[in-house]
Amino acid sequence: MFPYGFYGFDSSILILLPAIIFTFYAQGKVKSSFAKYIKVPTRNNYSGAEVARALLDKHGLQDVPIEMSQGTLSDHYDPRGRILRLSPEVHQRSTIASVSVAAHEVGHAIQHENGYIPLSLRNIIFPIARFGSSAAIFFILIGLIIPSLGSLMDIGILLFAVAVLFQVVTLPVEFNASNRALALLSEYGFIVEEEKGGAQKVLRAAALTYVAAMAAGIAQLLRLLIIRDRRR
C-alpha cells in the first residue's frame, strides 16, 4: 500500500475503487434490464397493478391499497402505512418487467404480514440507520479537524456502522422477496415458462444494486477505521 501522504495521496481511497466500479456496473445492469423488459409484453397481458392486486388478495391482504408513485423505479412497499406503491410504468404496463417488480413488492407485503424476521429487524434498525447515515459525517469531520475531540470520530464511525448493518440486513429481505415473486408469478400463471428467464434477469439485476450498496458501505467503513487508526 502506498504510504499515507505520498505526494498528498491518501492510499486508503483504493479500498473504495472496487466497490465504486461494482456500483456503476450494478446501476447500469438494473437500468438496462428494466429498459429491455419493460418493452416485452407478457402473454397473459396482466398489468403490474392487476398482478399486485391479485397476489395481495390471494394472501389475505385485501386491506393493502395500491397507489401510483412518481418517477421510474420508485416502486416500494411502505410497512408503516401498509401501502404498496408502484411507478407509472410498472402500475400500468403489461410487461415482464412490470409484473416482476410488482410481484417483488408484494413479496415485501407478505413478509410484513408473516413477520419475516429479517424484515422486522430491518424496520427496527431503520430509524437509527437513517440518522446515522446523515449525522455520521459531521461527527467524523469534527473529530478529524479537532484532534482533542477524536472520540467524536468514534461516535461517527459507530453511527455509520449501523447504516452498514442496515444494508447487510437488507440483502436477505430483498433476495427473499425476489424468490417469492418468481414463485408467485409462476404459481398463479401470470408468466409462462419462456418468460421466467426475463423475470429472473430483472429481479437479479435489482438485487445487485443492494449487494453493491452493501459492498460500498463496508469498504467505506474499513477506510474510516484506517484513517482513525492512523491519527492515533
Catalytic residue among 105, 193, 194, 195: 105
Give a yes or no: residue 30 inside a domain. yes
pLDDT of 14 reads 86
Is residue 172 one of the residues assigned to a domain? yes
Question: What domain range is 140 assigned to?
Answer: 11-230
Which own/partner contact pairs does 189-198 have at CB distance under 8 Å and 24+ positions apart?
189/44, 190/42, 190/44, 190/46, 190/51, 190/54, 190/99, 190/103, 191/42, 191/43, 191/44, 191/96, 191/99, 192/42, 192/43, 192/44, 195/42, 195/43, 195/96, 198/37, 198/40, 198/96, 198/97, 198/100
How far apart (Å, rounded) are the C-alpha atoms in residues 214 and 225?
Answer: 17
Residue 120 grid cell: 422486522
Tally of domains in the chain: 1
Whether residue 119 lies inside any domain: the answer is yes
Q: Which three cell numbers stand for residue 52?
A: 399486485
User: Is 6 within a domain?
Assistant: no
pLDDT band at 203; cut points 50, 70, 90: very high
Please write the tens of the pLDDT for every residue from 91-133.
Answer: 999 999 999 999 999 999 999 999 999 999 999 999 999 998 8
Domain-embedded: residue 2: no
Q: Residue 1 domain-assigned?
A: no
Let me know if residue 5 belongs to a domain: no
Cell numbers that stand for 69 in this block: 408513485
When pLDDT is cut at 50, 70 and 90, the band that residue 5 belongs to is very low
Residue 11 confidence class, pLDDT cut points 50, 70, 90: confident
pTM: 0.88
Known catalytic residue at 105: yes
Would residue 64 count as lying in a domain?
yes
The answer to whether residue 78 scores a pLDDT higher than 60 is yes
- For residues 87 and 72, the answer to whether their CB atoms sit within 8 Å is yes
**What is the rounded distance in angstroms from the CA atom of residue 2 to the CA atom of residue 120?**
43
